[in-house]
Amino acid sequence: MINENSFTSKAALQWFEEGKRDSGDLSDPELEGFLEGAFAPAPPRPAELFLESNLAVFEQQIIPCTGRDPWILYVESDENKAFETAVIPRTMFLAHGKQVVGIEGGNIPDDLDPKHHFALVILDAGSLTEKRFRDILRCEEWEPISKLLTNTKLEVLFHIHRVHDAKENLSCLMTSFLDGRFCNGALNRSENTTVVLSGVWNQPKLSNVIASSVTNRACVMGVL
């Protein structure tokens, strides 16, 4: 069942509630137009570079919320910053006033209604096996998330965190996931599925998730 405790972070839930009070109705055309124009890519100034990389820093007051392109968010150490600074605001924008239902792991509510709900699904790359990831992509009947994926009108944002600690090689499967292709390619969810990957910068296990085929499909940013 859907309830207030579906969210995995009390701070995130508080952010949602404050955002609902402060931002007004996200379905307002004028507000929606303002948000869609709030982010314009620009060459980063040296002060905006992330650590010793050439990544532009994500600025909290500027939310790049247009489109459903995948994101890769790198942090120095604390992934909560990526979740609360970037994932939550983008989720709220894409939900357009629908109730956001946070889901962690495989506990999928039975009463998700595409007209009223937006699903935020959180997966831990540190414990995600290649077999389970393949089962998700294939929409195997024993995989709980399959019920969510086959609800084809339901909009979903997947946040896959701890990509720096992935134990198995998921990169070869990640391209289909980012492209929104499921059920052996028979199900195209690209119009209603968004993926955000996050992890600690410059860690050796990142290559288990982040390959060139992944970065070529995503907007890559740093979060300080």
Domain boundaries, given as residue ranges, for the chain:
68-210
Separation of alpha carbons 179 and 162, rounded Å: 21
- Give the pLDDT confidence score for residue 107 in this predicted structure: 74
pLDDT per residue over 187-223, tens digit each? 999 999 999 999 999 999 999 999 999 999 998 888 8
Does 116 have pLDDT greater than 80? yes
* β-strand pairing of 219-223 with 71-75: parallel
- Provide the pLDDT confidence category of residue 86 given band limits of 50, 70 and 90: confident
Does 110 have pLDDT greater than 90? no
Could you count the other beta carbons within 10 Å of the beta carbon of residue 32? Answer: 16
* β-strand pairing of 219-223 with 193-200: unpaired
Nearest to 159 by CA among 108, 121, 102, 119: 121
- Provide the pLDDT confidence category of residue 65 given band limits of 50, 70 and 90: low
- Give the pLDDT confidence score for residue 198 in this predicted structure: 97
Separation of alpha carbons 15 and 35, rounded Å: 18
Q: Say which residue, 47 or 146, is predicted with more confidence.
A: 146
Separation of alpha carbons 167 and 170, rounded Å: 9
The DSSP output letter for 25 is: -
- Give the pLDDT confidence score for residue 106 in this predicted structure: 65
Which ranges of the chain does DSSP label H, i.e. alpha helix? 10-23, 29-36, 79-82, 88-95, 130-138, 145-149, 171-179, 212-215
CATH number at 68-210: 3.40.50
Does 28 have pLDDT greater than 50? no
pTM of the model: 0.80
